[in-house]
Amino acid sequence: MRIAVLGAGAMGSLFGGILAEAGHEVWLVDVWKEHVDAIRQRGLRITGLSGDRVIRRVQAVESAKEVGGAELVLVFVKSTVTEEAVRGAVSLFEGHTLALTLQNGLGNVERIGSVIGFQNILAGITAQGATVVGPGEIYHAGQGLTAVGELKGAVTPRAERMAALFNEAGIQAQVSDNVMGLIWGKLLVNVGINALTALTGLLNGQLLDHPETMEVMEMAVLEATQVAVAKGIRLPYEDPVSHTMEVARATSRNRSSMLQDVSNRRKTEIEMINGAIVREAEELGIQTPVNRVLTNLVRVMERTYARN
Ligand code: NAD
């Protein structure tokens, strides 16, 4: 299959690299010139859980225009730039092109849909994890299930083909009839962990060592749960607070992506995580003071990076 990966950082390179190894024609599209140049010159190096190797049969380009059309576009930019990235890559989308987002945060489907329409979008979540080591190299840090599905829940042949494509390449995947519930389910965990780790500098598991961080985590997740319930979202687990704590325990040694972002003075996904809860809540007339505080504090951190 002719596959374009829009945003070939940690996750885009991981999925793109593995799909290329499985024999697909993969084009990595990324604005990070040094990364694109390194992959062109030396191939894509993946280390970590799936083994150390260099993948040479993957194409890397800075502009989607060099690709032409694709049958599948995997959108793996950060959710902060989804809309501008898709706008800059409209040449990838032909009448039949499917877009798949496995990004974190709320609003990616809406932003992709605002550019290409909603007809050909699949969404999902993934428990795979990766980090960028440097130009041309990523580290495969986590393995787990990827779930994909239609926005409205139907189990369709194209969703089944997508899961099969991943499974055949060795990325464990299944079709879900509730991807929006899964996206919210992952969002609630990120609401409880990400901003708190970014603000405190703690590892995920260390949030559970302090009654103060536990209390804020619980309040933030409960507020977000209230919003999810009001929106009629079918969450994939019973108790969001204990689920978030279980995830923090299971990933205890992880530095969350938001902590990594603030450590590297990069823009975070706060607006699509805690910030999205605040916005959704406002529309529903629900108060979410804890998420507002977390959002405001991370915003101020981002704004004042240069001064510290
Ligand atoms: P990343 O920052 O490593 O990669 C994003 C890439 O997008 C970068 O290489 C950047 O140069 C590129 N980019 C930015 N603007 C672009 C544009 N206009 N066109 C093309 N490329 C552009 O991020 P990541 O960690 O791979 O995360 C991607 C998404 O996946 C996020 O939503 C994240 O929350 C989610 N996610 C990450 C992990 C993980 O372990 N890293 C796990 C699950 C989900």
Strand, coil or helix: 50: coil
How much distance in Å is there from the Cα of 219 to the middle of ligand 1? Answer: 28
Residue 46's identity, in one-letter code, is I
151-188 tens-digit pLDDT: 999 999 999 999 999 999 999 999 999 999 999 999 99
- Asked if the model's pLDDT at residue 243 lies above 90, the reply is yes
Nearest to 76 by CA among 42, 35, 23: 35
CB under 8 Å to 210, separation ≥6 — which residues?
none
How much distance in Å is there from the Cα of 113 to the middle of ligand 1? Answer: 19
- Asked if the model's pLDDT at residue 236 lies above 90, the reply is yes
Q: Give me the percent of the chain exceeding a pLDDT of 90.
A: 99
For residue 153, what are its two tokens? Answer: 């829940």
Counting from 1 in the atom list of ligand 1, the atom nearest the Cα of 130 is 40
How much distance in Å is there from the Cα of 158 to the middle of ligand 1? Answer: 25
Residue minimizing CA distance to atom 11 of ligand 1 = 32
- Asked if the model's pLDDT at residue 307 lies above 90, the reply is no
6 C-beta closer than 6 A to ligand 1: yes
Residue 92's identity, in one-letter code, is L
Q: What mean pLDDT, rounded, does the chain reach?
A: 97
Q: What is the mean pLDDT of residues 15-40?
A: 98
Q: What is the mean pLDDT of residues 278-282?
A: 98
How much distance in Å is there from the Cα of 200 to the middle of ligand 1? Answer: 23
258 C-beta closer than 6 A to ligand 1: no
Distances (CA, A) of 171 to 143, 219, 278: 9, 35, 34
Q: What angle do CA 239, 163, 254 make, to 5 degrees?
A: 50
12 C-beta closer than 6 A to ligand 1: yes
104 C-beta closer than 6 A to ligand 1: yes
79 C-beta closer than 6 A to ligand 1: yes
Counting from 1 in the atom list of ligand 1, the atom nearest the Cα of 32 is 11
- Sole residue written with tokens 């450590």: 263
Q: Which of 30, 82, 171, 255 to mutate to test the pocket of ligand 1 (most atoms within 8 A of CB)?
A: 30
Query: How much is the pLDDT for 308?
Result: 64
The answer to whether 10 and 16 are in contact (CB under 8 A) is no
- Sole residue written with tokens 């130009």: 135
Distance CA 86, CA 64 (A): 10
How much distance in Å is there from the Cα of 227 to the middle of ligand 1? Answer: 27
Counting from 1 in the atom list of ligand 1, the atom nearest the Cα of 13 is 26
Distance CA 228, CA 34 (A): 41
Alpha-helical segments (H) within 231-267: 240-250, 257-263
Residue 103, CB half-sphere, CA atoms under 13 Å: how many? 31
**Which of 80-94, 221-235, 294-308 bottoms out in mean pLDDT, i.e. has the lowest?**
294-308
pTM of the model: 0.96
109-161 tens-digit pLDDT: 999 999 999 999 999 999 999 999 999 999 999 999 999 999 999 999 999 99
Alpha-helical segments (H) within 67-146: 82-87, 108-116
16 C-beta closer than 6 A to ligand 1: no
CB under 8 Å to 97, separation ≥6 — which residues?
69, 70, 71, 72, 73, 116, 120
Q: What is the mean pLDDT of residues 33-51?
A: 98
Active-site residue, 186 included = yes
76 C-beta closer than 6 A to ligand 1: yes
- Asked if the model's pLDDT at residue 283 lies above 90, the reply is yes
pLDDT category at 306 given cuts 50, 70, 90 is confident
How much distance in Å is there from the Cα of 152 to the middle of ligand 1? Answer: 25
Q: Give me the percent of the chain exceeding a pLDDT of 70.
A: 100
Beta strands in 59-217 (DSSP E): 59-61, 70-75, 93-101, 121-126, 129-134, 137-142, 146-150, 173-175
145 C-beta closer than 6 A to ligand 1: no
How much distance in Å is there from the Cα of 256 to the middle of ligand 1? Answer: 14
Q: What angle do CA 151, 149, 138 make, to 5 degrees?
A: 115
Distance CA 298, CA 85 (A): 24
Q: What is the mean pLDDT of residues 90-94?
A: 98
- Sole residue written with tokens 């945003």: 7
Catalytic pick from 78, 186, 231, 267?
Answer: 186
* Complete edge-to-edge strand list for the sheet that includes strand 137-142: 53-55, 44-48, 137-142, 129-134
Distance CA 150, CA 133 (A): 33
Strand, coil or helix: 149: strand
